Structure 1
Amino acid sequence: MTFQKVNISSEDDVYFALSTVRRLMKQLRFSDLEQQKVFVSVSELTRNILDHAGRKGIFYCEIFDHGLRIEVLDQGPGISNIDDVLDGKKTPSSRGLGLGLSGVKRLMDEFYIETSTGGTKVVAVKRGRK
């Protein structure tokens, strides 16, 4: 199992997280399309930290069982309108690529979210070919 951690507090950290994922995916049998889905998801999740969580969060990524598991943690204010967000309803503060969490949910094979006033945790998994 290969595990990587990136502290997210700036735009450079987003690029470092993307570079980290690119390096890890070289070990997996993902199609170009599947790789792009992961890159878009990582971009959305890490930019959410910058845009909504006070620029303080952690990105984890690990290879497991022919797949990739991504976990993003922040200590932001939480997502009060989580149902709207997961339904893809944009908010005025939305920036990113326009897909948001609902896009990540569609692009990845598994998606879990926990949110409270103490922060948010998102776990997303993309399974590769065996």
Structure 2
Amino acid sequence: MPITYQKVNISSEDDIYFALSTVRHFMKQLPFSEADQQKIFVSVSELTRNILDHAFSKGIICCELLEQGIRLVVTDEGPGILDVEDVINGKRRSSSRGLGLGLSGVKRLMDEFHIETSRRGTRIVAIKWATKQP
């Protein structure tokens, strides 16, 4: 039976590459366009980079293969995001080593995006559908 769910602990650069490799394996099982594959890769890069840059280099990304899509769930125990609305709407940027798209970029690139944040940490769920959902 194929693996449809995998957790990757993120605490170093190598973990980002492992997360990207995991997502690549999952995407091969669905008819994602090249453009959508790149959107997912950029999103994984941004989300995992945020863990290293803002959450004390300690977090988890869970990749889940859905019937017609892929779900990314990122959790950390960092200090939370102040002014979360400004951040996800691109009005505030942090000094990150990522691609510069941040959470607002992930929100634009993925089909669904949900965030919960507090002083105890942040949880982000992002989904990309291989076929358009109603």
TM-score (norm 1): 0.96
Query: What residue number does 2:125 align with?
Result: 123
For 1:62, which of 49, 61, 64 is the aligned residue? 64
SS in 1 for 2:78: coil
1:92 CA drift (Å)? 4.3
Note the residue ranges of structure 2 that are not aligned, 5 or more in a row: none
1:129 CA drift (Å)? 2.6
CA-to-partner distance for each residue in 1:41-66, whole Å, 9 max, x for gaps? 00000000000000000010011121
Query: What residue number does 1:24 align with?
Result: 26
RMSD of Structure 2 on Structure 1 (CA)? 1.3
SS in 2 for 1:15: helix
1:90 CA drift (Å)? 4.1
Query: What residue number does 2:76 align with?
Result: 74
Q: Distance in 2 between matches of 1:56 and 1:69?
A: 20
| Overall identity of the aligned pairs, in % | 68
Q: How many residues align?
A: 130
CA-to-partner distance for each residue in 1:21-43, whole Å, 9 max, x for gaps? 00110001000000000000000
Query: What residue number does 1:100 align with?
Result: 102
